[in-house]
Structure 1
């Protein structure tokens, strides 16, 4: 008889969240919990030892040797091409959700939504069907919308990267030999494209938005 079980690994740096996800998986007999990890180091060790069908992982999970956020997800997609990934996150920012979607992650859950979505998302991921929990779906442009997503110009990205690295608008203008007004406009336009309204959020989500590299 064919084994129709779906083998699932869980990754989250908060023990209570891991327990909640594991309990949600246990409600569906077809879902087999293979193991759990608290950071990227444990996750890679676990996946290397126990191949699985679906990974349910937090997005921001610091402390591991392989990082977290988009770089970790991209590594996982390259290292385990058959692995389906469900991202379970508390970072309900439009720019981050759109960046995940553009990176090929189409199963995204908000921690603000009911845990019943976890099992549903795992089953959807296993058959290659997109799944977005209720708080996540509105953060993505509707199909046919022409609004660019993370379409920063090179100069906008340059300005924002310097800004999150601690440079003031005046200092950036002097460094790049541009007018202060030009730099300010590029900063405002770049943030608008990212769906970020406040400087505090730009700093908070810099890593997830790919703006934390060494400043130019």
Structure 2
């Protein structure tokens, strides 16, 4: 059940939406909490700087909505919270998830929708739309900020690209390649063939809508991999 408070002026019960805020940048967490704590129908019940902290909070307290960055440190040591959010959204029941991001790649954003993220907010839009997004997702609907809608529309106009989410192995190869390892070095580290690594790298780039090595490096910078 949601937290309940009493409106003394109107002498009636109001249900507060319980929110956990997760982002590895303290300034973002402070800003988000400032926006939310000004709303009488929202209660921030915890904050986390990585997915490990988020997991601990979710086990310790009930919440209705998780507002989470997607490029914060993961439990596996990567700078990617998406695998954790995917596992969270497979639970029954699970909180709603509003993703915060600076990523402008429509194919990755579409991948977030495919795993059940019901709110996606570009951080540049957060001040104007985050509170509305929380109310919308709690009602069972989807909320996308303006920058996110633009990116998704661009991706939809490129039918030769794929909007699938990366597999765990593709993401692993993508990260290592972005960090400067050659295909043969990744193959040796992961104990796979060079052909397999090349295939997974190409598949990851295709799914993310990346055409060149420069695109790959720039995208990795955007999401904090390098």
Alignment length, in residue pairs?
A: 191
Paired with 1:193 and 1:82, the residues of 2 have a C-alpha distance of 27
State the secondary structure of the residue aligned to 2:62: coil
Q: 2:23 aligns with which of 12, 35, 38?
A: 12
Q: Residue 199 of structure 1 corresponds to which residue in structure 2?
A: 213
Is 1:53 matched with 2:67? Answer: no
* In 2, Cα distance between equivalents of 1:49 and 1:190: 35
Runs of 5+ unmatched residues, structure 2: 1-11, 185-192
Quick one: structure 1 residues 193 and 60, their matched pair in 2 at CA, closer, same or farther if it must change by over 3 Å?
Answer: closer
Please, what TM-score do these two structures have when normalized by structure 1? 0.72
Greater helix fraction, Structure 1 or Structure 2: 2
Map of 1:99 onto structure 2: 111
Structure whose residues are more often strand by fraction? 2
Q: Deviations over 1:32-55 (max 9, x none)?
A: 111111111111111111110001
Q: Is the 8 A contact 2:88 2:94 kept in 1?
A: no
Distance, in Å, in 1 between the alignment partners of 2:163 and 2:20 is 30
Note the C-alpha offset of 1:64: 4.2
Structure 1 CA distance, aligned partners of 2:175 and 2:44? Answer: 43
SS of the residue corresponding to residue 129 of structure 1 reads: coil
Deviations 1:1-51 (A, max 9, x none): 554211111000111100000011123210111111111111111111111
Separation in 1 of the partners of 2:18 and 2:129? 17
| Cα-Cα RMSD | 3.7
Deviation for aligned residue 1:141:
4.2
Please give the secondary structure, in 1, of the residue aligned with 2:44. Answer: strand
Could you tell me which runs of 5 or more consecutive residues in structure 1 were left unpaired when the two chains were aligned.
169-173, 177-182, 210-216
Query: Which residue of 2 is the match for residue 74 of structure 1?
Result: 86
For residue 150 of structure 1, what is the aligned residue in structure 2?
Answer: 163
Q: CA deviation at 1:118?
A: 1.1
Contact 1:113/1:134 (8 A) holds in 2? yes
